[in-house]
Amino acid sequence: MISVFDVLTWLKRAPVYHELFHHGYCGKLDNKPDKAMGVYPLKRSGRPYRAYGGLESYEIVGISLLIHYNRNMEQSQYAAQKLFEFLCAPLTDDKAVITDRRPDAQYPEEELLVCPVRFPNVDGEATRKINYIDVTVPEPVFVGTDDFGVFEFVIELQLYVEKEIENNA
């Protein structure tokens, strides 16, 4: 299973993250710093996805990205647009790999406070290929400002990730 933590780790490896963002988090973060990107599960309803014949080779991971940038509308919109363009660009070999953490892996306590994003080398961690990124909005969606006047945008997407092959031997 690919989690929001895994998606955040994948995004933090992208050049656009290093160029524009200083903080990444999952879930609720009190006193959000400027130039932050939050990763959340996409809220959807409906039936589960099933391939005809039951031969599913991928899982679909719904993600909502909150871009919490700064008090300058132009800079905030620019950051959201650059992230959007990265997500819409064709997948390259280095962009198409995501780490799937082992559920029983041990992580340092300080990383668990906000989001475990700096993973140690753990035997058994699997890397899986992202087959397709389906950005489900035509552009970053402006959602207003927070209580401190920081502009926020949302980008919704679905990642089509190859399924982990289970070894039943």
Q: Is residue 167 part of a domain?
A: no
pTM above 0.85, yes or no: no
Range of the domain at 114: 4-162
Report pLDDT digits (tens) over 76-102. 999 999 999 999 999 887 778 877 654
Report pLDDT digits (tens) over 103-126. 444 444 434 334 433 333 444 556
Q: Is residue 121 part of a domain?
A: yes
Q: Is residue 29 part of a domain?
A: yes
- Residue 1: the pLDDT is 76
Which DSSP helix (H) or strand (E) runs through 129?
A: strand 126-135
Q: Is residue 169 part of a domain?
A: no
Q: Is there a contact between 30 and 146 (Cβ–Cβ < 8 Å)?
A: no
For the chain, the domain total comes to 1
Q: Is residue 168 part of a domain?
A: no
CATH at 145? 3.30.2000
- Rounded to whole angstroms, how far apart are CA atoms 119 and 124? 12
